[in-house]
Copies of this chain bind each other. A is one copy, B any other.
Amino acid sequence: MKPIAYADAPEAVRAVFDDIKATRKVDDVNNFWKYLANDPRMLAHVWSSLKEMMGPGHLDPLTKELIYVAVSITNNCGYCMASHGAGARAKGASEEMMNELFAVVGLANMTNSLANAYKVPVDEAFK
C-alpha cells in the first residue's frame, strides 16, 4: 500500500494528522501514520490510544518510550526500533541509557527462554 499525503487525505484523516502535529509540535507526521491512514478508522483508534497512554501519567514519557523500544526489539520490528529509539533519544535517553536498555532486553530474552527450558514453577512468594 502507499502512504497517504495530507493533500490527498480525506477530512477524517486530516483531522488526525493535524492533532498529531499539534500534540507533538512537529511539521509533519511520521511514515507510520501516513500508511495507517489507508484505514482512517484504525488511524483514529491508534492515535487516540497512543495520545492518551504515551503522554504524562503514572510512568514518565521516557520510561514509556524505553518500554516501547524493548518490545520492538523483542519483536524484531525495524521500523518501531527506529521510530521509538528516536523518540527515546528526543526525550532524553543518553547512549549509555540505550546501551543499558539493550542489555536488559538481551538478558530478559535469555532468562525467559531458560525459565521455559527448565519449566521453572512460580515461587509461592510471587503468587
Contacts and interface: CB of A to CB of B under 8 A. Distances in A.
Contacts of A9: none
B36 A114 contact: yes
A58 B110 contact: no
Number of copies: 6
A15 interface: no
Q: For chain A, what secondary structure do more than half of its interface residues adopt (helix, strand, loop), or is it mixed?
A: helix
Interface residues on A, range: 35 or more
Given A64-B104, A99-B42, A106-B111, A116 B76 contact: yes
A97 B48 contact: no
A1 to B, nearest CB: 6
A74 B48 CA distance: 22
